[in-house]
Structure 1
């Protein structure tokens, strides 16, 4: 509740469903994770 009072704009943004990456070992999933982590808008 306190956070909503301090930064109400955070609670007005639409929620984006998570992107779950699965893959076999040594198939590039770590590289994909690192590339996605570079996006300043997303979280990894």
Structure 2
């Protein structure tokens, strides 16, 4: 539980950081793939 919430917070902060870059689309696609694989 704690690990998932903490990991999600890190990933979310990374996404917010990537949001300012041009590679946001690629990063978001990778994130979606990671979410699908983790299910």
Query: Which TM class, normalised by the smaller chain length?
Result: 0.3 to 0.5
Give me the TM-score of the superposition, normalised by structure 2: 0.44
Give me the TM-score of the superposition, normalised by structure 1: 0.41
- Tell which has more relative contact order, 1 or 2 (C-alpha 8 A, sep 6+): 2
